[in-house]
Amino acid sequence: MSVTRTGPLPSGPEAEYDVVVVGAGVVGCAIARALARHPLRVALVEAASDVGDGTSKANTAILHTGFDAAPGTLEARLVREGHRLLGAFAGEAGIPVEPLGALLVAWDEQQRAALPRLAEKAERNGHRTTRLLSADELRLREPHLGPGALAALAVPGESVICPWTTTLAYATQAVRSGVDLHLDCRVEKVRTGDPWHRLVTRRGVLRTRHLVNACGLHADAFDALLDRRDFTVTPRRGQLLVFDKFARDLVRHILLPVPGPLGKGVLVSPTVYGNVMLGPTAEDLDDKTATGTTAEGLAGLREQGGRIVPALLDEEVTAVYAGLRAATGQEDYRCAAHPALRYVTVGGIRSTGLSASLALAEHVLGLLADCGLELGPERPLAPVRMPNLGEAFPRPYRDAELIAREPEFGMIVCHCERVTRGEIRAAYASDIPPAGPDGLRRRTRARGGRCQGHFCGAEIRALSEEYGQGAR
Ligand X SMILES: Cc1cc2nc3c(=O)[nH]c(=O)nc-3n(C[C@H](O)[C@H](O)[C@H](O)COP(=O)(O)OP(=O)(O)OC[C@H]3O[C@@H](n4cnc5c(N)ncnc54)[C@H](O)[C@@H]3O)c2cc1C
Give me the residues that bind ligand X (CB under 6 A), please: 22-28, 45-48, 53-56, 59-62, 64, 186-187, 214-218, 222, 238, 280, 323-325, 349-355
CA neighbor of 391 nearest in space, from 421, 354, 432, 419? 419
Q: What's 131's DSSP letter?
A: E
From the list ligand X, other proteins, none, partner contacted by residue 304 (C-beta under 5 to 8 A by kind): none
Q: Per rule CB under 8 A, is residue 249 in the interface with other proteins? A: no
Q: Residues in the chain, how many?
A: 472
Candidates 454, 466, 470, 471: give the one binding other proteins (CB under 8 A).
454
First to last CA, the chain: 16
Least distance between other proteins and beta carbon 247 (Å): 11
Candidates 4, 10, 321, 336: give the one binding other proteins (CB under 8 A).
321
Candidates 6, 11, 134, 452: give the one binding other proteins (CB under 8 A).
452
What would you report as the CA-atom Rg of the chain, rounded to the nearest whole angstrom?
22
Q: Per rule CB under 8 A, is residue 306 in the interface with other proteins? A: no
3-state secondary structure of 154: strand
Cis peptide leading into 280, omega within 30 of 0? yes
Least distance between ligand X and beta carbon 29 (Å): 7
Q: Of 138 and 242, which has the nearer Cβ to other proteins?
A: 242
Region 378-437 residues binding other proteins, contact defined as CB under 8 A: 397-398, 400, 403-404, 407-408, 410-412, 415, 418, 436-437
Q: Residue 310 burial (CB < 10 Å; 0-12/13-18/19+)?
A: middle
Q: Which amino acid is at 174?
A: A
Task: Give the DSSP H/E element, type plus range, for residue 54.
Answer: none
Q: Of 151 and 322, which has the nearer Cβ to ligand X?
A: 322
Please tell me which residue in 64, 127, 182, 338 is annotated as part of the active site: 64
Least distance between other proteins and beta carbon 416 (Å): 8
CA neighbor of 237 nearest in space, from 136, 358, 145, 323? 323
Decide if 144 is catalytic. Answer: no
Backbone angles phi, psi at 448, to 5 degrees: -100, 10
174 Cβ contact list (under 8 Å, min separation 6): 29, 32, 33, 35, 36, 42, 44, 181
Region 325-364 residues binding other proteins, contact defined as CB under 8 A: none
Q: Per rule CB under 8 A, is residue 320 in the interface with other proteins? A: yes
Instruction: List the beta bridge partners of residue 189.
Output: 200
The C-alpha atoms of residue 220 and residue 217 are separated, in whole angstroms, by 8
Q: Of 240 and 254, which has the nearer Cβ to other proteins?
A: 240
Candidates 267, 298, 360, 446: give the one binding other proteins (CB under 8 A).
298
Q: Of 360 and 427, which has the nearer Cβ to ligand X?
A: 360
From the list other proteins, ligand X, none, partner contacted by residue 27 (C-beta under 5 to 8 A by kind): ligand X
Q: Of 32 and 373, which has the nearer Cβ to ligand X?
A: 32
The C-alpha atoms of residue 416 and residue 275 are separated, in whole angstroms, by 12
Beta strands at 419-420 and 42-45: parallel, antiparallel or unpaired: unpaired
14 Cβ contact list (under 8 Å, min separation 6): none
Q: What is the number of alpha carbons within 13 Å of residue 141 lying toward its C-beta?
A: 22
Least distance between ligand X and beta carbon 275 (Å): 15
Q: Per rule CB under 8 A, is residue 317 in the interface with other proteins? A: yes
Least distance between ligand X and beta carbon 45 (Å): 5
Residues lying near other proteins in the complex (CB under 8 A): 242, 246, 289, 291-295, 297-298, 316-321, 397-398, 400, 403-404, 407-408, 410-412, 415, 418, 436-437, 450-455, 457-459, 461-462
Catalytic residues: 64
